[in-house]
Homo-oligomer: A and B are copies of this chain.
Amino acid sequence: MAAAVRTSVWLDGKTTRSRKTSQPATGLDRQKITEATVRLLDAEGAAKFSMRRLAADLGVTAMSVYWYVDTKDDLLELALDQAMGEVVLPDESVDDWRTHVRQLAVNYRKLLVTHPWVSPLVGEFLNVGPNAQLFSTAVMNVMKASGLSPRHQAGGLAAVFQFVYGFGTVEGHFLDRCARAGMTQDEYFARAMSAVSLNPGLDAMMEQSRDLMEARGGETVEEMRDRDFDFALEVLFAGIEAMGGRPGPSTP
Protein backbone atom coordinates (compact mmCIF):
# COMPACT_ATOMS: atom_id res chain seq x y z
CA MET A 1 0.00 0.00 0.00
CA ALA A 2 1.11 3.53 -0.69
CA ALA A 3 2.94 5.37 2.05
CA ALA A 4 0.83 7.87 3.94
CA VAL A 5 2.72 10.96 2.87
CA ARG A 6 1.51 14.22 4.24
CA THR A 7 1.55 16.90 1.57
CA SER A 8 -0.27 19.86 3.06
CA VAL A 9 -2.96 20.89 5.54
CA TRP A 10 -5.01 21.91 2.58
CA LEU A 11 -4.87 18.49 0.98
CA ASP A 12 -4.63 15.89 3.73
CA GLY A 13 -5.77 17.94 6.70
CA LYS A 14 -9.01 17.43 8.50
CA THR A 15 -11.64 19.87 7.45
CA THR A 16 -11.67 23.10 9.37
CA ARG A 17 -12.11 21.69 12.90
CA SER A 18 -14.48 24.53 13.69
CA ARG A 19 -16.18 24.68 17.01
CA LYS A 20 -19.37 22.75 17.53
CA THR A 21 -20.39 24.05 20.91
CA SER A 22 -22.18 27.32 21.39
CA GLN A 23 -20.68 27.96 24.81
CA PRO A 24 -16.93 27.73 24.29
CA ALA A 25 -14.67 27.21 27.24
CA THR A 26 -11.86 29.42 26.04
CA GLY A 27 -13.14 31.10 22.89
CA LEU A 28 -10.46 29.39 20.86
CA ASP A 29 -10.86 28.94 17.16
CA ARG A 30 -8.73 28.04 14.12
CA GLN A 31 -8.98 31.56 12.80
CA LYS A 32 -8.04 33.12 16.14
CA ILE A 33 -5.09 30.78 16.48
CA THR A 34 -3.90 31.58 12.98
CA GLU A 35 -4.17 35.31 13.60
CA ALA A 36 -2.22 35.03 16.84
CA THR A 37 0.43 33.03 15.00
CA VAL A 38 0.85 35.71 12.34
CA ARG A 39 1.02 38.40 15.00
CA LEU A 40 3.70 36.56 16.95
CA LEU A 41 5.73 35.74 13.85
CA ASP A 42 5.67 39.40 12.87
CA ALA A 43 6.57 40.64 16.33
CA GLU A 44 9.20 38.13 17.45
CA GLY A 45 10.33 36.29 14.36
CA ALA A 46 10.17 32.67 13.32
CA ALA A 47 13.10 31.66 15.53
CA LYS A 48 11.29 32.61 18.73
CA PHE A 49 7.92 31.20 17.75
CA SER A 50 6.83 28.01 19.45
CA MET A 51 3.64 26.21 20.27
CA ARG A 52 4.23 26.96 23.93
CA ARG A 53 4.83 30.64 23.24
CA LEU A 54 1.66 30.79 21.17
CA ALA A 55 -0.37 29.06 23.84
CA ALA A 56 0.87 31.51 26.45
CA ASP A 57 -0.18 34.37 24.18
CA LEU A 58 -3.62 32.85 23.86
CA GLY A 59 -3.85 32.41 27.64
CA VAL A 60 -4.20 28.70 27.31
CA THR A 61 -2.22 25.57 27.99
CA ALA A 62 0.31 24.48 25.39
CA MET A 63 -1.66 21.46 24.30
CA SER A 64 -5.01 23.11 23.73
CA VAL A 65 -3.85 24.31 20.36
CA TYR A 66 -3.47 20.72 19.21
CA TRP A 67 -7.20 20.29 19.31
CA TYR A 68 -7.50 22.68 16.38
CA VAL A 69 -4.30 21.88 14.52
CA ASP A 70 -2.45 18.62 13.95
CA THR A 71 1.12 19.86 13.94
CA LYS A 72 3.18 23.01 14.08
CA ASP A 73 3.81 22.71 10.35
CA ASP A 74 0.08 22.73 9.67
CA LEU A 75 -0.23 25.88 11.70
CA LEU A 76 2.58 27.50 9.74
CA GLU A 77 0.82 26.60 6.51
CA LEU A 78 -2.32 28.27 7.81
CA ALA A 79 -0.34 31.38 8.74
CA LEU A 80 1.31 31.37 5.32
CA ASP A 81 -2.01 31.35 3.52
CA GLN A 82 -3.38 34.00 5.85
CA ALA A 83 -0.47 36.24 4.85
CA MET A 84 -0.94 35.42 1.16
CA GLY A 85 -4.40 36.91 1.56
CA GLU A 86 -2.83 40.31 2.16
CA VAL A 87 -1.61 40.55 -1.42
CA VAL A 88 -4.18 42.75 -3.11
CA LEU A 89 -4.98 41.48 -6.58
CA PRO A 90 -5.45 43.81 -9.54
CA ASP A 91 -8.82 44.58 -11.04
CA GLU A 92 -8.41 42.94 -14.41
CA SER A 93 -11.18 44.85 -16.07
CA VAL A 94 -9.05 47.98 -16.32
CA ASP A 95 -5.53 48.82 -17.45
CA ASP A 96 -3.09 46.75 -19.46
CA TRP A 97 -1.13 43.67 -18.50
CA ARG A 98 2.02 45.57 -17.55
CA THR A 99 0.13 47.56 -14.96
CA HIS A 100 -1.34 44.36 -13.59
CA VAL A 101 2.00 42.59 -13.45
CA ARG A 102 3.55 45.59 -11.76
CA GLN A 103 0.80 45.72 -9.16
CA LEU A 104 1.18 42.03 -8.41
CA ALA A 105 4.96 42.33 -8.26
CA VAL A 106 4.89 45.35 -5.96
CA ASN A 107 2.30 43.80 -3.65
CA TYR A 108 4.05 40.43 -3.52
CA ARG A 109 7.29 42.21 -2.67
CA LYS A 110 5.51 44.12 0.08
CA LEU A 111 4.23 40.86 1.56
CA LEU A 112 7.70 39.32 1.66
CA VAL A 113 9.18 42.43 3.23
CA THR A 114 6.56 43.02 5.90
CA HIS A 115 6.48 39.32 6.85
CA PRO A 116 10.04 38.02 6.53
CA TRP A 117 8.97 34.64 7.92
CA VAL A 118 6.83 34.06 4.82
CA SER A 119 9.54 33.38 2.29
CA PRO A 120 11.09 30.27 3.84
CA LEU A 121 7.57 28.87 4.15
CA VAL A 122 6.82 29.52 0.48
CA GLY A 123 9.83 27.36 -0.31
CA GLU A 124 9.12 24.72 2.28
CA PHE A 125 5.43 24.06 1.71
CA LEU A 126 3.30 23.48 -1.35
CA ASN A 127 1.51 26.78 -0.78
CA VAL A 128 -1.81 25.68 -2.22
CA GLY A 129 -4.16 27.26 0.32
CA PRO A 130 -7.18 29.23 -0.90
CA ASN A 131 -5.44 32.61 -0.86
CA ALA A 132 -2.34 31.20 -2.52
CA GLN A 133 -4.55 29.78 -5.26
CA LEU A 134 -6.27 33.11 -5.81
CA PHE A 135 -2.84 34.68 -6.12
CA SER A 136 -1.65 32.00 -8.56
CA THR A 137 -4.76 32.39 -10.67
CA ALA A 138 -4.28 36.14 -10.84
CA VAL A 139 -0.64 35.69 -11.84
CA MET A 140 -1.53 33.21 -14.54
CA ASN A 141 -4.31 35.37 -15.92
CA VAL A 142 -2.05 38.34 -16.11
CA MET A 143 0.60 36.38 -17.96
CA LYS A 144 -2.04 35.13 -20.38
CA ALA A 145 -2.62 38.75 -21.32
CA SER A 146 1.08 39.36 -21.91
CA GLY A 147 0.88 38.19 -25.49
CA LEU A 148 3.45 35.46 -24.91
CA SER A 149 2.58 32.15 -26.56
CA PRO A 150 1.12 29.57 -24.16
CA ARG A 151 4.38 27.59 -24.45
CA HIS A 152 6.28 30.56 -23.09
CA GLN A 153 3.92 31.89 -20.46
CA ALA A 154 5.27 29.72 -17.65
CA GLY A 155 8.82 30.82 -18.38
CA GLY A 156 7.87 34.47 -18.44
CA LEU A 157 5.91 34.06 -15.26
CA ALA A 158 8.89 32.45 -13.57
CA ALA A 159 11.21 35.21 -14.73
CA VAL A 160 9.04 37.89 -13.14
CA PHE A 161 7.77 36.28 -9.97
CA GLN A 162 10.81 34.26 -8.99
CA PHE A 163 12.73 37.50 -9.33
CA VAL A 164 10.30 39.24 -7.00
CA TYR A 165 10.51 36.31 -4.60
CA GLY A 166 14.29 36.47 -4.49
CA PHE A 167 14.36 40.23 -4.23
CA GLY A 168 11.72 40.47 -1.52
CA THR A 169 13.31 37.63 0.44
CA VAL A 170 16.73 39.21 0.84
CA GLU A 171 15.18 42.63 1.37
CA GLY A 172 12.89 41.35 4.09
CA HIS A 173 15.68 39.53 5.89
CA PHE A 174 17.91 42.57 5.70
CA LEU A 175 15.26 44.83 7.21
CA ASP A 176 14.71 42.24 9.89
CA ARG A 177 18.40 42.19 10.78
CA CYS A 178 18.49 45.97 10.95
CA ALA A 179 15.47 46.11 13.23
CA ARG A 180 16.82 43.47 15.57
CA ALA A 181 20.22 45.16 15.68
CA GLY A 182 18.53 48.49 16.40
CA MET A 183 20.14 50.23 13.45
CA THR A 184 18.84 52.00 10.39
CA GLN A 185 19.40 50.31 7.05
CA ASP A 186 22.13 52.78 6.19
CA GLU A 187 23.93 52.30 9.49
CA TYR A 188 23.84 48.55 9.16
CA PHE A 189 24.97 48.74 5.56
CA ALA A 190 27.90 50.99 6.42
CA ARG A 191 28.87 48.72 9.28
CA ALA A 192 28.84 45.59 7.13
CA MET A 193 30.77 47.35 4.36
CA SER A 194 33.50 48.60 6.68
CA ALA A 195 33.74 45.23 8.39
CA VAL A 196 34.13 43.53 5.04
CA SER A 197 36.76 46.01 3.97
CA LEU A 198 38.90 45.07 6.98
CA ASN A 199 39.21 41.57 5.63
CA PRO A 200 42.55 40.76 4.04
CA GLY A 201 43.01 39.95 0.39
CA LEU A 202 39.80 41.45 -0.85
CA ASP A 203 41.13 44.47 -2.70
CA ALA A 204 39.53 43.45 -5.97
CA MET A 205 36.20 42.86 -4.28
CA MET A 206 36.28 46.19 -2.49
CA GLU A 207 37.20 48.06 -5.61
CA GLN A 208 34.14 46.62 -7.29
CA SER A 209 31.89 47.56 -4.43
CA ARG A 210 33.22 51.10 -4.24
CA ASP A 211 32.73 51.64 -7.96
CA LEU A 212 29.21 50.35 -7.71
CA MET A 213 28.44 52.56 -4.74
CA GLU A 214 29.68 55.66 -6.48
CA ALA A 215 27.75 54.86 -9.61
CA ARG A 216 24.63 54.63 -7.53
CA GLY A 217 24.99 58.20 -6.33
CA GLY A 218 24.41 59.46 -2.82
CA GLU A 219 21.07 57.85 -2.27
CA THR A 220 19.94 55.93 0.78
CA VAL A 221 19.97 52.14 0.75
CA GLU A 222 16.23 52.15 0.41
CA GLU A 223 16.21 54.49 -2.57
CA MET A 224 18.83 52.41 -4.32
CA ARG A 225 16.85 49.26 -3.73
CA ASP A 226 13.64 50.78 -5.04
CA ARG A 227 15.44 51.97 -8.13
CA ASP A 228 17.01 48.55 -8.70
CA PHE A 229 13.62 46.90 -8.31
CA ASP A 230 11.96 49.25 -10.77
CA PHE A 231 14.72 48.89 -13.30
CA ALA A 232 14.65 45.11 -13.05
CA LEU A 233 10.92 45.17 -13.78
CA GLU A 234 11.60 47.34 -16.83
CA VAL A 235 14.18 44.80 -17.99
CA LEU A 236 11.62 42.05 -17.62
CA PHE A 237 8.92 43.94 -19.51
CA ALA A 238 11.30 44.80 -22.31
CA GLY A 239 12.49 41.20 -22.45
CA ILE A 240 8.98 39.78 -22.58
CA GLU A 241 8.07 42.16 -25.36
CA ALA A 242 11.21 41.21 -27.29
CA MET A 243 10.37 37.53 -26.93
CA GLY A 244 6.93 37.93 -28.44
CA GLY A 245 4.91 39.81 -25.85
CA ARG A 246 2.42 42.54 -26.59
CA PRO A 247 4.12 45.93 -27.05
CA GLY A 248 3.69 48.53 -24.33
CA PRO A 249 1.43 51.57 -24.71
CA SER A 250 4.40 53.73 -25.61
CA THR A 251 7.89 52.52 -26.38
CA PRO A 252 9.83 55.65 -27.20
* Interface, chain A (partner B; CB < 8 A): 3, 5, 7-8, 10-12, 119-120, 122-124, 126, 128, 133-134, 136-137, 140-141, 149-156, 158-159, 161-167, 169-170, 172-173, 177, 181-183, 191-192, 195-196, 198-199, 202, 204-205, 208-209, 211-212, 215-217, 224, 227-232, 234-243
Cβ-defined contact, B124 with A173, below 8 A: yes
Chain A binding surface, main DSSP class: helix
Copies in the complex: 2
- The answer for the CA separation of A155 and B233 in the assembled complex, in Å, is 9
**Nearest residue, chain B, Cβ from A136:** B205
B161 A235 Cβ-Cβ under 8 A: no
User: 24 pairs across A/B with beta carbons < 8 Å?
Assistant: A7-B192, A11-B196, A119-B123, A123-B169, A133-B205, A136-B205, A137-B205, A140-B209, A140-B212, A149-B215, A154-B212, A155-B227, A155-B230, A156-B231, A158-B232, A159-B232, A159-B236, A161-B166, A166-B166, A166-B169, A236-B239, A238-B238, A238-B243, A239-B242
- Chain B contacts of A227 at CB under 8 A? 155
Contacts A141-B208, A162-B166, A235-B242 aside, 10 further interface pairs with beta carbons under 8 A come to A11-B199, A120-B123, A128-B192, A133-B202, A137-B204, A150-B215, A158-B167, A159-B231, A234-B239, A241-B242
